[in-house]
Structures are given as structure tokens and as C-alpha cells.
Amino acid sequence: MIPNAGLRTCLPLVNPILKYQKFRPHRQYRPNTSIANKSYGNGQLQKNRWLNFRAIITRWVPLGSVIYVGWCYIRASVNYDVTKVELKCYEKLPFRVTSRIWGKLAAFELPTSIRCFVYRTYIRFFNVNLGEAAITDLTYYKSLSAFFTRALKDGARCIDSGSCVSPCDGIVLNCGPADTDRIEQVKGVTYSLEELLGKNTWSKSVNDNYYNSLLKNKKNILHQCTIYLAPGDYHRFHSPCDWVASFRRHFYGKLLSVNPLLAKLIPGLFAMNERAVYVGEWQHGFFSLTAVGATNVGSIEIYNDPTLHTNKIGRKRIEELELSNIKYKKGDLFGQFNMGSTIILLFEAPKDFKFDFCSGDRVMMGQSLLTRSSR
């Protein structure tokens, strides 16, 4: 027998043990399969990690994007033609939907407290020259869209005395004579002149040859200049010369990227994308300015054409409008892009017309397109 005093002394230690064993309900032992399967040597677990929905979003999509971009860079460095299957798959991507979403995000008014951080990040990433902006206070711009389309301060650009100047800042993808009905998109890649502009309904001249139907003076030829606006460039574009716009044609089109790397791979890229074509006359005859939309650049705004609405749901494939002979002076504001895109100039001029730069050169708005001898 244990003395009562000794029993009372042991109770503090014995009671928890007896209580745990006596009153805790019995549970049948079941192996924890989830823990067992977490063994790093289990091949089934490794397989499941790459096949579930979360893995598709967090692993396969980023990995596939990196591989695809790398493959595009490799293909751009060699003479490679995109297959029809690749082109069809690329066209099926929902660029129009993502562009609308991006447009809404870019137009969203940002809190004043984070504007400086957001815009400075954008400035560093895209190498933006903020010193040229009319307003350098970053808190002034309510949204990214407002910052993209910022105005330049007076004197930031000088309009050259030549008859035709660059309408925007950007990189020249191609320039030179267009003496056939095929225009060179980039070196070795062409597209149809008629596909870009559409049927010639603005000219009174009747000619079975599309190229000749555009010329007012048969001694002249057509010249073209294509300028790509990067995301960090000044996004407004101006009139390149003194001319009169009499007709506008809006092509619904696609919103594929117009990055120079893709322009080398996809023939007819500019003739496929959404674009606004403005046609008229200048001192030598036919003149046209085409603003081409692109991925995340579905919005093209023309200041003297408020009826133009781009990247909208349910729009017609082609819209035409007779303009009341709008007169533009060299350097006048013409329109703006939300993010970067492309401007294509196609105009009639004498055969000895010479450009002052070549493909790959960077130009600034107001810089002369002509050499001294061609002015």
C-alpha cells in the first residue's frame, strides 16, 4: 500500500498521464498518404506538380513565353520564314481583348502618392527623356495614358525648312522609292500597296493599274517611309508637310505586335493590323499618312477626326469618310498613339527624291526627310 501522503505527492505527475490515456478517444491508425507522397523520390508527385492547373499558370506559361521569345530572337538573326501554322496560331491570340484591358488600366486614375514611383519606373525601363516634356511634375499626370501622350515643351523640336519632315520620333524601318505595287516592310519582306490603302475610290482618274492610278504626274514615282515608335518615344505625331487631307479609310484589322523583330518575320504585317489611312495631295501630287495600331495600342486618336473610334467591339471591317479638304501645315499636331506603334508615309515625288537617312536610323519629329540636293 502507498501511503496517502506519498500518493498526494505523485498526483501532479501521474494525473496528466492517466487523464490522457483514459479519456482520449481511440482513433484507428490511418497512414497519411499526403505526407507519404511528399517524398522527393516519388515520381508520381513530381509528375503531378507539372500537370495541375496551378502549374500551368505559374510554370508552363512563363517557361513557354521565355522559350518563344528566345526562339523569335534566334529566328530574327537568320533567314527564316514563318510557317502558315505559326502565323495562324499567333493571330488567334486574344490581342484585341488584352489591348482593351490594357487601355482601361492605362486610363485608370492613379493615386497621387504612387504616381512618381510608377512613372519613374516606366522612365527607367523605357529610357524616357523627361526633360523634353512640357510638364516635368510627375504628379500632374493622372494616368499612364496621360503620361504616354505627354506634350513637349516649346523648343524641344525644331521643324526643318525642308518640304517634308519626320512626323514623329522613332526608328526608320524602311525608306526609299516604291516603284512597284509591292512595298518593302523591312529588308526582304514586302506587302501589297493595295492591301495597305484599299481600293482607290478617292481618285477621279481611271486606270487599271493600281500604282499608276495613284500618280497625278506620270513622270513621278511613289516614295515610302516607315517609322516605328517605341514605348519610350514621344507618342504624338505631326503633319510632315503642307498638304490637304480629303479621304479617310479605317481598317478594323488585327492588333499584332509591330516590333521590328516581328516585322522581319511576318510578311504583310502592316496591311493586316488595324490602321487609319488618310489620303490627300501635297505639292508633288498624291500623299498619304497611315497610322498603324498594334498590341496594347488599339487606341489611335486623330485630333481633326473625332468620329474615328478604334479597337471597338462590333465595328465594321472597313469604314470610309469623305473629309472636307482639311488643310495641314508642316508640324501641325495630327494625332497620338497610346503606347508606341508605326507611321507609314506614302507619297508622290520626282524620281531624284532622296532620303537623308536609311533603315535603322533614329529620327526626331521635325527632322528633314530630304537630302540638301532634293529640297
Do 206 and 212 touch, CB atoms closer than 8 A?
no
Q: Which three cell numbers stand for residue 254?
A: 488585327
Q: Which three cell numbers stand for residue 230?
A: 517605341
Q: Is 11 exposed, middle or buried (0-12, 13-18, 19+ CB in 10 A)?
A: exposed
Active-site residues, by number, are 169, 238, 341
Q: What is the DSSP letter of 25?
A: P
Do 244 and 326 touch, CB atoms closer than 8 A?
yes
Q: Residues near 72 by Cβ (< 8 Å), separated by ≥ 6?
A: 261, 262, 265
Q: Which residues of 259-286 are buried (b: 16+ CB within 10 A; e: fewer)?
A: bbebbbbbbbbbbbbbbbbbbbbbebbb
Q: Which of 229, 204, 343 is nearest to 276 (CA)?
A: 343
